[in-house]
Amino acid sequence: MPERTDWEAKARGVIRGEMARQQVTYAQLVEKLAEIGVKEDERNLRNKVSRGKFTAAFMLACMEALGTTHLAV
């Protein structure tokens, strides 16, 4: 079974990959999250994604904010 940090790296990669695919910056993601009612500041968002430690609900909120309808894991 993969180590916990392996899962965190995968989670981080999903969000970063989708941001890169859509050419969205952290600042832009903060704005998009705010539009759906999720309050984050850019510094906190960067740290959260960098660590890869966030809830599934937060990851889904990011995908919703980015307009992602399908996700390849």
Give the range of the structural domain holding residue 30, as residue numbers without chain letter: 4-65
Instruction: Dihedral sign for Cα 46, 49, 53, 59, please.
Output: positive
Question: What pLDDT score does 59 carry?
Answer: 96
pLDDT digits (tens, 9 = 90+) for 13-72: 999 999 999 999 999 999 999 999 999 999 999 999 999 999 999 999 999 999 999 887
Q: pTM of the full predicted structure?
A: 0.88
- Residue type at position 40: E
- Whether 71 maps to a domain, the answer reads no
pLDDT band, very low/low/confident/very high, at 1 (cuts 50, 70, 90): low
- Whether 44 maps to a domain, the answer reads yes
- Whether 24 maps to a domain, the answer reads yes
Q: Which residue carries 């050419």 as its tokens?
A: 23
- Whether 51 maps to a domain, the answer reads yes
Domains of the chain: total? 1
Question: What pLDDT score does 71 carry?
Answer: 83
- Whether 26 maps to a domain, the answer reads yes
- Whether 70 maps to a domain, the answer reads no
- Whether 72 maps to a domain, the answer reads no
